[in-house]
Amino acid sequence: MGFVGFAGVGGNGSWGTSVCRRTRSVAFAVAPRQIGDDYWIGGDVSKEAISELSPKSLMLLKTSAEEGVTAEEVQKFCQEKGIDMKWVPVAPKMADRELADEIVNLLSAQEKPVLIECSGSVRAGAALSIHMAREKGMSFEEIRDMAVEKSLAWPDIPPLTKWVSESV
């Protein structure tokens, strides 16, 4: 997993950084990683990296409480590049099966390849894991093992582990 961009506290609207307004914690941009044939996950992916990947679709999971690039900025960029963009805010402690259903339905309908993005790629990995488990008929244990094998971080985050276990 590589880091790209520069993180600065309080930098509204700067690609490559994210700062939580509530905790003031800084998330560095995480270079996109391919998971399977049709998906990439990443965190605060730079415009340059998105242009290089040329995804057909992008799903943004950041909430409006996170600083850095806003959903509106990502939408504008995606429109300019002809990328279908969906914004589905995911707050780990609030994530439920209904939200998972929405994400799975949108991912199934989006043109491939898809870049799934949040501030640090953890929620993106969890959301993709739910989608993959349902698509392939995998159990929670199987998808958790796959996530560990691919060095996804969500199995180490209790609210995301709970979300995935209740949503597959």
Output the CA torsion 152→157→158→160 (10° steps). Answer: -60
pTM comes to: 0.84
Share of the chain above pLDDT 70, in %: 83
| Per-residue model confidence (pLDDT) at position 109 | 97
Distance in angstroms (rounded) separating the CA atoms of residues 129 and 66: 23
- As given in the structure block, the two tokens for residue 44 are 């605060």
φ/ψ (deg, to 5) at 81: -95, -5
pLDDT of residue 8: 25
Residue 60 pLDDT > 60: yes
Cα–Cα dist 163/168, whole Å: 9
Find out whether 61 and 90 touch, Cβ atoms under 8 Å: yes
Note the pLDDT tens digit of each residue in 72-98. 999 999 999 999 999 999 999 999 999
Number of Cβ within a 10 Å radius of residue 65: 11
Q: What is the per-residue pLDDT across 29-53, written as a single tens digit (0 to 9) for each?
A: 788 999 989 999 999 898 999 999 9
Which of 6-10, 21-25, 114-118 has the least mean pLDDT?
Answer: 6-10
pLDDT of residue 66: 87
pLDDT of residue 16: 53
What pLDDT is attached to residue 26?
Answer: 44
